[in-house]
Amino acid sequence: MGYTTSLTDYMITMNVMETENPLFEFRPWTLIHMELFVTEDEAMVRSGFLQQEIGQDYIRREILPMFDFQ
Protein backbone atom coordinates (compact mmCIF):
# COMPACT_ATOMS: atom_id res chain seq x y z
CA MET A 1 0.00 0.00 0.00
CA GLY A 2 1.31 3.39 -0.87
CA TYR A 3 1.34 5.96 -3.58
CA THR A 4 3.12 6.32 -6.90
CA THR A 5 3.22 8.73 -9.80
CA SER A 6 3.40 5.86 -12.30
CA LEU A 7 1.28 2.82 -11.59
CA THR A 8 2.58 1.07 -14.71
CA ASP A 9 6.21 1.44 -13.65
CA TYR A 10 5.38 0.34 -10.10
CA MET A 11 3.60 -2.83 -11.26
CA ILE A 12 6.48 -3.71 -13.61
CA THR A 13 8.94 -3.23 -10.77
CA MET A 14 6.92 -5.41 -8.40
CA ASN A 15 6.06 -8.18 -10.89
CA VAL A 16 8.89 -8.36 -13.43
CA MET A 17 12.11 -6.74 -12.33
CA GLU A 18 14.41 -8.32 -9.77
CA THR A 19 14.45 -6.04 -6.76
CA GLU A 20 15.72 -6.09 -3.21
CA ASN A 21 12.14 -5.63 -2.00
CA PRO A 22 11.22 -8.53 0.32
CA LEU A 23 7.69 -8.51 -1.12
CA PHE A 24 9.05 -9.60 -4.51
CA GLU A 25 8.74 -13.27 -3.52
CA PHE A 26 4.94 -12.89 -3.23
CA ARG A 27 4.45 -11.96 -6.89
CA PRO A 28 2.49 -11.65 -9.04
CA TRP A 29 0.83 -8.64 -7.51
CA THR A 30 -2.71 -7.80 -8.60
CA LEU A 31 -4.18 -4.34 -8.28
CA ILE A 32 -7.51 -4.57 -6.46
CA HIS A 33 -8.11 -0.93 -5.59
CA MET A 34 -6.80 2.47 -6.54
CA GLU A 35 -7.70 6.03 -5.76
CA LEU A 36 -6.65 9.07 -7.77
CA PHE A 37 -5.62 12.38 -6.21
CA VAL A 38 -4.83 15.78 -7.65
CA THR A 39 -1.86 16.46 -5.40
CA GLU A 40 0.89 14.35 -3.90
CA ASP A 41 0.02 15.74 -0.46
CA GLU A 42 -3.53 14.37 -0.73
CA ALA A 43 -2.18 10.96 -1.77
CA MET A 44 0.28 10.89 1.13
CA VAL A 45 -2.43 11.75 3.66
CA ARG A 46 -4.68 8.98 2.33
CA SER A 47 -1.81 6.48 2.25
CA GLY A 48 -0.96 7.34 5.85
CA PHE A 49 -4.59 6.85 6.88
CA LEU A 50 -4.82 3.44 5.19
CA GLN A 51 -1.67 2.28 6.96
CA GLN A 52 -3.15 3.07 10.38
CA GLU A 53 -5.35 0.59 12.25
CA ILE A 54 -8.51 2.55 11.41
CA GLY A 55 -7.52 2.51 7.74
CA GLN A 56 -6.86 -1.23 7.84
CA ASP A 57 -10.33 -1.69 9.34
CA TYR A 58 -11.77 0.35 6.46
CA ILE A 59 -9.99 -1.87 3.93
CA ARG A 60 -11.26 -5.07 5.59
CA ARG A 61 -14.80 -3.71 5.88
CA GLU A 62 -15.28 -1.81 2.60
CA ILE A 63 -12.80 -3.06 -0.01
CA LEU A 64 -11.88 -6.70 0.59
CA PRO A 65 -15.47 -8.02 0.78
CA MET A 66 -15.85 -7.17 -2.93
CA PHE A 67 -13.39 -9.92 -3.85
CA ASP A 68 -13.26 -13.70 -3.65
CA PHE A 69 -9.66 -14.59 -2.82
CA GLN A 70 -10.02 -18.37 -2.93
Span 21-44, pLDDT tens digits: 777 778 888 888 899 999 999 999
Sign of the torsion formed by the C-alpha atoms of 57, 59, 63 and 66: negative
Q: Does 2 score more than 80 pLDDT?
A: no
pLDDT at 12: 84
Asked if residues 23 and 14 have their Cβ atoms less than 8 Å apart, the reply is yes
Helices (H) and strands (E) in the chain, counts: 3, 0
- Give domain limits for the chain: 7-66
Residues 56, 50: Cα–Cα separation, whole Å = 6
Spatial CB neighbours of 70, under 8 Å, sequence gap ≥ 6: none
